[in-house]
Structure 1
Amino acid sequence: MVGETGTGKSTLINAMINYIMGVRWEHKMWLEVTEIPEDQTESQTKAVTVYEVNAPSSPFVLTVIDTPGFGDTEGFDKDKRVSEALQQLFKSEDGIHEIHAVCLVLKGTDVRLHERQCYILDEILSLFGKDIVKHILLLFTYKEKQILPKRMKHFIKESLSKYVKNDECVSFSFDNCQSEYCDEEDRESYKTSWDNGVENFSKFFNHLDEINPKSLDKTEGVLRARKQLDASVGNLRDRIELAELKKRELEQTKTALDKFENYKEEQKNFQCVVDEPYKDLVPVNASWWHWTKRATRCKVCEENCHYPGCWWVSDLSWCSVMDDGKCTVCTGRCDYTKHVKDYNKYVIETRKVTKTNDNLKEQYEEKVGEKKSLMAKLEKDIQQMEAEKIRLVEKCYQCLEKLMEDALKCTCISSFIHLDFMIEKVKETGNQERVQKLEELKKRAIEENRGLFERLCAYVQQMKI
């Protein structure tokens, strides 16, 4: 069950469980499993919750996966935590490995699709693999009739045609009124709501009974790929920056060396000032409301492997960037036991240092007395730094390409933030075919997410903070 905050998802889940438990109008009672906030615009559910209902009168066991409402006041950070929690649930040995349906809960009283709903819809659909598309159901709340008005049919056509063919959209309507308190004299006026609810849930479960469950392997892979993409891009940005700074340092040394006309005779007097890159471990700028902003970092490679790290992980072998106990991000692919998650992260800084003949001798040994050989060695190191950067960009591109192949929605906002960086770096490698492919993806993302980029810019600024 997924949907925007305020669509009545918690009320609908309660109604569904009441139906399965056999609660009817004449019983004059109402079971409430999920907390219903007084302000329906604020989601009270902070984590993914699984309800398992095994009612004696029901021919099946009902499992409902309830997700926090998307798009509330906590913004992007909380929405990202939903995907992390779902991945944990789908990956865990005793978790959920197949589902019958993904139910998008929508407010039937809405007359149009506003920008926040566009973002929410894209983010929800980006959580799943392409193979789940025929298992998407639309549940409209606050509606008494099953017949959808023309404006709602237009809503479905415009909003979901990118993912589901219009004739494949299966929808159900619920009025969400059963739980409302009423005086004794008003009870009969609510009987229609109860009767409609029983009828609608009967149709809903009859439809589910005709659906074969779908494995979540591809969806879990999409969730993992998206997390690994985020982590890889963050890590690769640092490593590319470090490679570029090291290359600049070598070029500064080479330029200074080139000025010596007779290096063999003057080498004792050789010195030059260069910008030397180094890594520094600094505290994460985390406030009490941002307790999730901890970094998972490798102590061997001295790299940030996942920042912000998986908020739900206590055993780092379960972190999204780990595969069979090994890190998929850091340079050495180190074991998870070589990693730590805390409120510190590595940053790349530069400092002015003076290079002397002794420094070069220590670095290049016997070549130090021969200017030509030393220049060749410096040039080789520069080329190696450039090759390393190209390798890192290639790795990042492959991760993005894997996501484009499997994800139901690969042009969502959370993926778009990587495209400019990738386009810039792939251009530097000279692969025009890939540059064109990425630019086409960016163009499609802009067209599909038109009007959302002010929100995106705010998010990017938030991540920088």
Structure 2
Amino acid sequence: MFKYLLGVKFEEELWYEITEEAATRGLEKDLKVAENLSTLFQSSDGVCEVDAVCFASKNRLSDRQHYIISSILSLFGKDIVNNIVFLITHSDGLPPKNVIGAINKARIPCRRDHNNQPVHFLFNNRQADARHPGECYVRAQKCAWEDSMEEIKKFLQSLDEKNRRSLELTSDVLIERIILEASMCNLQLRVQEKESKKEAAKVKVPIESASWKSRKAMTCTVCEENCHEFDCWWVSNPNQCEVMKNGFCTVCTGKSHHSKHVKENKKYVIRNSSMTIEFDDVEKECEKAQEQSKRLSVVMDYLDQDLQDIEDQQSEAYMTIKHLSQISLKPDSAFTLQHLDFFIPKLREAGKQDWVRELEDLRRTAEAEEANKDALSYLKAGLAKLNLFFSGQ
């Protein structure tokens, strides 16, 4: 593209590289693709409109590519669908049946041509190779160069300003995703604490993270909960965090004021604890029975309120998922599916059968598509490796 814009000719034998990409990959690196785009879209001096969303692909889509496409599409609002096109590399000039078939099979939302096929542009990467001696080789490389330059021209001409889209709806999707992620992490901590009340304790520990974006978390000093655990790096003032609304937290149990929150390199976790209660004799135990009964009543009232709070948070998380399904370009992404494994059983326990059926239908439909299964499989395998890494630190 830069060669085309700069008017470079084949005979000049110039090749530009924008970046040098590291050979080692993995989920942690791939997670940053969506993170960096999210940052770009939310920044005040970032991108507020989009002409095209381009996916570069070779002749097939791997599990990793399915995951990246899924995670990126889940960032956008539904109004971006006609801005999505494909840049197919290593082309031999013939119709790219394999990759087009994979795109159609995966039902990747994108712009379609008059034959209802994904809009795509073909590029031959052999132009970067050293020039080979012999007239036939030079002729082949020149044809590859000219074909690629022609495709770049067609691509740039396709960027019609009438098709330009605002990222306003996409911004809403990003905020909803952040709130859902924060709410799910908070809910898992509270459920874990609830289910292991007798043998566990909640403690605050230093954060161990390989990503600098996740080395700080926002916690509530009143509720003693993690309100925004992952990727809470964008702002230093808790009041400006995405999970705050009108100065109050939308995640923690007490919906506390922002002034009751801190942002630091510590978070709350549940740790197993051992507690031994000794009684001098049976008589002393009996004397305390009445007092314990009173305390038990207070505890039960507290637990009932705690259960109600968890149920309210489950309702909010469900409504967030519903809203995302209405505005997100890909509501059934691996990002959403990974939370359903935890969320659906908890809703079933709470007797929310209608919600369970609706979310199970979403998961069933999503997992019926091979691309979604591949993306989720890649995500879970990568998360397992990351968890193993952090537990070994």
The CA distance in 2 between the partners of 1:311 and 1:378, in whole Å, is: 37
1:137: Cα distance to partner? 0.7
Distance verdict in 2 for CA 1:403–1:355, change over 3 Å: farther
TM-score, structure 2 normalization: 0.80
Q: Is the 8 A contact 1:404 1:410 kept in 2?
A: yes
1:340 is matched with 263
**d(CA) in 2 for partners of 1:31 and 1:386?**
63
Cα deviations across residues 225-246 of structure 1 (Å, max 9, x unaligned)? Answer: 2222122111111223334556
1:301-320 superposed matches below 5 A:
301=222, 302-310=224-232, 319-320=241-242
Match of 2:192 in 1: 241
Aligned to 1:387: 308
Structure 2 equivalent of residue 88 of structure 1:
39
AA in 1 matched with 2:46: G
Instruction: Tell me which amino acid in the other structure corresponds to 1:346.
Output: Y
1:325 touches 1:335 (CA, 8 Å); kept in 2? yes
After TM superposition, list the pairs within 5 Å mapping 1:9-24 onto structure 2: 16-24=1-9
RMSD: 3.4
* Residue matched to 1:134: 82
1:197-247: CA deviation from partner (whole Å, max 9, x where unpaired): 22211111111136521011122222232222122111111223334556x
Higher relative CO (CA 8 A, sep ≥ 6), structure 1 or 2?
A: 2
**Equivalence for 1:411:** 332
Quote the offset at 1:34 in angstroms: 0.6
Aligned pair in 2 of structure 1 residues 222, 462: CA closer, same or farther (>3 Å)?
Answer: farther
Shift of 1:299: 5.0
| 2:129 aligned with 1:177 | no
Task: Give the drift of 1:292.
Answer: 4.5
Cα distance, 1:78 vs. partner? 2.5
Residue from 114, 137, 157 that aligns with 1:206 = 157
* Aligned pair partner of 1:281 in 193, 204, 211: 204
Matched, 1:424 2:333: no
Q: Provide the C-alpha distance between the structure 1 equivalents of 2:160 and 2:295, rounded to a whole number of angstroms.
A: 75
Does the 8 Å contact 1:19/1:198 carry over to 2? Answer: yes
Per-residue deviation, residues 330-382 of structure 1 (Å, max 9, x unmatched): 3434427932131x2212345537599xxxxxxxxxxx8897x8776555444
Change (3 A) 1:151 1:244: closer
**Which residue identity lines up with residue 56 of structure 2 in the other structure?**
V
Q: Secondary structure at the match of 1:23?
A: coil
Shift in Å, 1:314: 5.8
**Any unmatched runs of 5+ in structure 2?**
280-289
User: 1:379-414 CA distances to partner (integer Å, 9 max, x unpaired)?
Assistant: 544432321221121122222222222221122222
Sort the Cα spacing of 1:325 and 1:17 in 2 relative to 1 into closer, same or farther, 3 A.
Answer: farther
Q: Which runs of 5 or more residues in structure 1 are unaligned?
A: 1-15, 44-71, 247-274, 357-367
2:286 match: none
Q: Which residue number in structure 1 is paired with residue 19 of structure 2?
A: 35
Instruction: Find the aligned partners of 1:181 and 1:172 in 2 and give their Cα distance.
Output: 24
Alignment partners' CA distance in 1, 2:234 and 2:306: 37
Seen in structure 2, the aligned counterparts of structure 1 residues 396 and 123 have a Cα distance that, compared at 3 Å, is: same
CA distance in 2 between partners of 1:325 and 1:410 (Å)? 29
When residues 195 and 413 of structure 1 are mapped into structure 2, their CA distance, relative to the original with a 3 A threshold, is: same
SS in 2 for 1:234: helix
Q: Give how far 1:291 is off.
A: 4.6
Task: Tell me the SS of whatever aligns to 2:26.
Answer: coil
Deviations 1:168-188 (A, max 9, x none): 521111112333332687794
2:167 aligned with 1:216: yes
Secondary structure in 2 matching 1:417: helix
Is 1:117 the counterpart of 2:62? The answer is: no
Change in 2 beyond 3 A, CA 1:315/1:19: farther
Q: Distance in 1 between matches of 2:305 and 2:166?
A: 44
After superposition, the Cα gap between the structure-2 partners of 1:221 and 1:82, relative to the gap in structure 1 and judged at 3 Å, is: farther
* 1:439/1:171 CA distance change after superposition, 3 Å: same
